[in-house]
Structure 1
Amino acid sequence: MEKSGYGQDGIYRSLRPPLLLPTDPNLSMVSFLFRNSSSYSHKPALIDADSGQILTFSQFKSTVAKLSHAFINQLGIKKNDVVLICAPNSIQYPICFIATIAIGAIGTTVNPAYTVREISKQVEDCKPKVIVTVPELWDKVKGFGLKYVMIGSEEKSNLFGNSKNSKVTWLNDLVKNSGNVSDWFPEAEIKSSDTAALLYSSGTTGLSKGVVLSHRNFMAAGLMVTSDAEFAGERDNLFLCVLPMYHVFGLAVIMYAQLQRGVGIVSMAKFNLEMVLRAVEKYRVTDLWVVPPIVLALAKNSIVKKYDVSSVRQILSGAAPLVKDLMVECAKNFPQAIIIQGFGMTETCGIVSIENPRVGSRHSGSAGMLVPGVEGQIVGVDTLKPLPPKRSGEIWVRGANMMQGYLNNSEATRFTTDKEGWVHTGDLGYFDEEGQLFIVDRLKELIKYKGFQIAPAELEGLLVSHPEVLDAGVFGLPNVEAGEIPVANVVRSPTSSLTEKDVQKFIADQVAHFKRLHQVTFVESIPRSPAGKILRRELREKVRSKI
């Protein structure tokens, strides 16, 4: 094997020390999460930056245990039932998610910025029994007619005035009425191969799909993410989680991976630069794992200088590529911190590669080396043959963290995962001679706006539903602040007087804010392949040639 990790069989292997993954087939990710917690029971596990509430590991464990009993006894949730969480980050979010998993039920998460139409697609697909939400989002979810768990307490909310809603149970009441269970979990027959979560991703093609992740996937990913810190014997870290917990990055890579190591999390409902800096200063946060737009804010905003950020030792950026210059600029505001990148997907439970903070060159623009337990291949797009270092092709990966498949979609599963367990990422990249992975471009056509994924096909479907639109092509244009912005080429019917603003409003009324069109150009026709596929690259190049 070369220094790059490239073997004669065309497979790249991790250059990190090997991992011992749990082998017990009856181990659940919840018992794994708390396996050592008695040795740090008084350490803070969850800190709510918005309310100031703090839960130690022992309080966290007993609250999860009480809620898991309440889910069974008070709401009748059974193994394999689906619980959907539609809420912003809070310390109740992990409690609800972990309590769901503890009884063998399945957690699914949805972006709270979604419209009713977008949420209903997910509800139809995964058929939840219960929706966990917050009073502010009640109007979006009340129409589904399911059972609801409302985060918070009834006394403090005036959601239903003086009347009761028989379908709604308040989280505080569930925990309060669960009896004296201290911190033992309900008996549940859970195998590590059982489904733990359904996380919706735009996948490598088309509309959002439910990625099926098992208990084993979460345990493996948790150990992979934290292997460098474990190897270095780090114990006193504190992570800020401002990235949404409905996303694999917030849920698996920050929340689950760190808590299973006994590392505390400071939760924050939404990104606000000054609030982030205030939380860093107040709680002495050591690790900021974020996305490129937040790195941009940390690098370019002079307000950073007003706060004591000396506790920050590491800033990791993921979800979209980060340019070298921005890393260098950010490092000036955080001279004591190491700035690194990682790469993962929902389909890989959030992790494929990560830069080692202690080894290798800095600010190279690389997505780091493969984490232990993950193998990679770079496959020629035309030849389908494995490629050596410095040659670019599609990135294929496999390991114990790879998804079980897409829910109710065997065709998409076959398209993404082959018989040998390789997940075809749809990303183009290469390994260098040191085994560092560089992401070059995407085969898949997703638009990445501030780390959010936007499927062009969804927006095209909406555009074509307008009576005056004959055809449409949506694609991403590079943008310094957002990474990419969604723009559209639209063919109007001959008699139409539609304006750019009309089209933008038509879309904005139906989708979450991040999917809105930033630009609409009216054209004579949309270029398509003989098979009818929109040639987005041509659309993009046409716009670039005019810039």
Structure 2
Amino acid sequence: MDSTSGFCPATRTLRSLRPPEDAPVSFPSFALSRLPSPLPAHPAFADASTGAELSFAVLPARVRSLAAALRGALGVAKGNVALVLAPPSLDVPVVYLAVLSLGATVSSVSPLSTATDVARAVGLCNPSVVFATAATVGKVPAPAGRKLTVILLDSPQFESFLHGQESGEDGPAVEVRQSDVAAINYSSGTTGRTKAVAQSHRRLIASALQFRSAQPRTPGGPVVTLLGVPMSPSYGFHMLMRGVLKAETTVVVTAPCGGAAGMASVAAMCRATQMFVAPPVVVAMAPGGVGQEGFPDLVRIDCGGAPLSTVAASAFQERFPGIELSLVYLLPACRKVFLANRRLSRRGTATEGACRGCGGVGGRGGGRRELRWCG
């Protein structure tokens, strides 16, 4: 790296010349400390499939209760890894935040993964505890010569963890630093075997702060974000956590809704101001029978997880000229490309930014286990 400009020829990125800050703050403590007082009246999470809600008043209490149970009853500690193999639910963000608050690492695996993929993830991250459901626990491999605790999210035990005592007597407060590993996410495996990348608390904080909120068309109206992507990959994981830090309502879908076209219907039903979706949703909305009048509250769509063609983007913006469309390219290695609103259809150009931690090419680490680091 050039000591005068901060330019790194190997990654072709610019880095700050200042020494990195490493304040003792975890993502949960930072996010929850930013909540306004009094707490927002709107829910933190809402389930579009069932109508269930999780309020900002209840969320911190459940996180503390689960964290206390994990530390006191199961011995989960800083440096441990918790593998999460569960379908979307309002319990998943609570698990994420509780594990992160202990200094442990969340390893989120798609519930649609095969038993082979799950076994590979277990081999990569070496978890001490697994969060699963009755429908997914059969994919968890039997541990070889070591203890592996399995907690079912649909069991009375987990329910008791959520509503137990918030005890502070189970040990001293855990010091979690921004450079500590927060999450291990996995690639889809479309270009080979599934690969993993480790991400720090600093990375989660920066990602959540980076994505601006779509301001409601009605002044003073609620900011409602529809998470139209899975919670386990890097894209969904980051956007799920982002809603807590932004004190917004994040709407999740926990049951099949009819594919891409059904996701658009959910957006209209929940009056979303912003959507995080994959390209099929954008493609399905363009030729649909409903115009912009069917989405009076929708201000912006962030599309990621896969490339969106300029033709599809242009077709969408011709039909919805008042809705901003941004393409978010967020792979497990954290390289990001943003294609901003109408410039996407008119110019078809992109502005590209590589992750400071890895330069967008995998970064430090790697090795035989293919676990890459992004700080």
Secondary structure of the residue aligned to 1:363 is helix
**Contact 2:59/2:94 (CA < 8 Å) preserved in 1?**
yes
Alignment deviations for residues 47-73 of structure 1 (CA, whole Å, 9 cap, x no partner): 111221111222112111111111111
Which residue is equivalent to 2:26?
Answer: 28
Residue 361 of structure 1 corresponds to which residue in structure 2? 343
Report the equivalent of 2:153. Answer: 151
Return the letter of the residue paired with 1:295: V
1:271–1:108 CA distance, 2 compared to 1 (3 A): farther
Task: Report SS of the residue matched to 1:46.
Answer: strand
1:38 to partner: Cα distance:
3.6
**TM-score, normalization: structure 1?**
0.57
Matched, 1:244 2:246: no
Q: Distance in 1 between matches of 2:347 and 2:206?
A: 26
* Residues 106 and 41 of structure 1: CA distance in aligned 2, closer, same or farther (over 3 Å): same
Distance in 2, matches of 1:12 and 1:61, equals 38
User: Which of 347, 356, 375 pairs up with 1:399?
Assistant: 356
Tell me what 1:103 maps to.
102
Structure 1 segment 69-468 matched on structure 2, within 5 A:
69-141=68-140, 143-144=142-143, 146-154=148-156, 170-176=157-163, 178-180=164-166, 187-201=173-187, 206-226=192-212, 236-252=222-238, 254-269=239-254, 270=256, 272=258, 273=260, 275-302=262-289, 304=290, 308-348=294-334, 352-357=336-341, 361-364=343-346, 366=348, 368-370=350-352, 397-400=354-357, 405-406=364-365, 409=368
- SS at the partner of 1:34? helix
Which residue in 2 is equivalent to 1:469? Answer: none
Q: TM-score, normalised by structure 2?
A: 0.81
**Cα separation, 2, equivalents of 1:101 and 1:367:** 37
Taking structure 1 as reference, are residues 28 and 51 closer, same or farther at Cα in structure 2, changes over 3 Å only?
same
**Contact 2:68–2:166 (CA<8 Å) still a contact in 1?**
no
Distance in structure 1 (CA, Å) of the matches to 2:188 and 2:365: 11
Distance 1:115 1:23, change over 3 A: same
C-alpha contact (below 8 Å) 2:46/2:250 kept by paired residues: yes
Aligned AA (1:361): R
Residue type of the alignment partner of 1:92: D
The 3 A distance-change label for structure 1 pair 364 and 112 is farther
Alignment RMSD, CA only? 3.7
Q: Output the CA distance in 2 between the equivalents of 1:367 and 1:264.
A: 32
SS of residue paired to 2:98: helix
Deviation, structure 1 residue 274: 5.3
Residues 367-395 of structure 1 deviation map (CA, whole Å, 9 limit, x = unaligned)? 7434xxx5xxxxxxxxxxxxxxxxxxxxx
Corresponding letter in the other structure for 1:225: F
Instruction: Indicate conservation of the 8 Å contact 2:267/2:295, yes or no.
Output: yes
> Relative to structure 1, is the Cα distance of residues 283 and 398 closer, same or farther in structure 2, using a 3 angstrom cutoff?
closer
SS at the partner of 1:80? coil
Q: State how far apart, in whole Å, the 2-side matches of 1:153 and 1:321 are.
A: 39
Q: Does structure 2 conserve the Cα–Cα contact (< 8 Å) formed by 1:228 and 1:356?
A: no
Q: Distance in 1 between matches of 2:220 and 2:346?
A: 25
> Is 1:240–1:265's contact at 8 Å kept on the other side of the alignment?
yes
Question: Do the aligned partners of residues 219 and 226 (structure 1) sit closer, same or farther apart at CA in structure 2, a change above 3 Å counting?
Answer: same
Change (3 A) 1:125 1:367: farther
Separation (CA, whole Å) in 2 of partners of 1:171 and 1:140 = 19
Cα deviation for residue 284 of structure 1 reads 1.1
CA contact 1:324–1:365 (8 Å) conserved in 2: no
Q: Percent identity?
A: 24
Residue 271 (structure 1) shift: 5.5
Distance 1:365 1:271 in 2: 34
Asked if the contact 1:238/1:284 (under 8 Å) is kept, the reply is yes
Displacement of 1:276 in angstroms is 2.3
| Maintained 8 Å contact 2:117/2:194 | no
SS at match of 1:346: coil
| Structure with greater contact order relative to length (CA < 8 Å, sep ≥ 6) | 2
Cα shift at 1:186: 7.3
Q: Structure 1's 364 and 186: CA in aligned 2 closer, same or farther, altered over 3 A?
A: farther
How far did 1:180 drift?
4.3
CA contact (8 A) 1:238 1:286 kept: yes
Cα distance in 1, alignment partners of residues 231 and 117 from structure 2: 18
The alpha-carbon distance between structure 1 residues 174 and 256, as it changes in their structure 2 partners (threshold 3 A), is same
Residues 83 and 198 (structure 1 numbering): CA distance in 2 closer, same or farther, change over 3 Å? same
Question: Structure 1 residues 251, 235: CA separation in 2 closer, same or farther (over 3 Å shift)?
Answer: farther
Structure 2 counterpart SS, 1:118: helix
Post-superposition Cα deviations, 1:483-510, rounded to whole Å, max 9, x if no partner, equal xxxxxxxxxxxxxxxxxxxxxxxxxxxx
Match of 1:45 in 2: 44
Instruction: Provide structure 1 residue ranges, at least 5 long, that are not aligned to the other structure.
Output: 1-6, 155-169, 375-396, 422-547
Distance 2:125 2:56 in 1: 32
Tell me what 1:437 maps to. none
Deviations along 1:98-127, one digit per CA (max 9) or x if unpaired, are 111100111001111112122111112211
Equivalent-residue separation in structure 2 for 1:197 and 1:219 (angstroms): 12
Residues 112-168 of structure 1 show CA distances to partners (whole Å, capped at 9, x for unaligned) of: 1112122111112211111111222232237457322212344xxxxxxxxxxxxxx
1:24 is displaced (CA, Å) by 5.1
Shift of the alpha carbon at 1:36? 1.6
State the number of aligned residues: 354
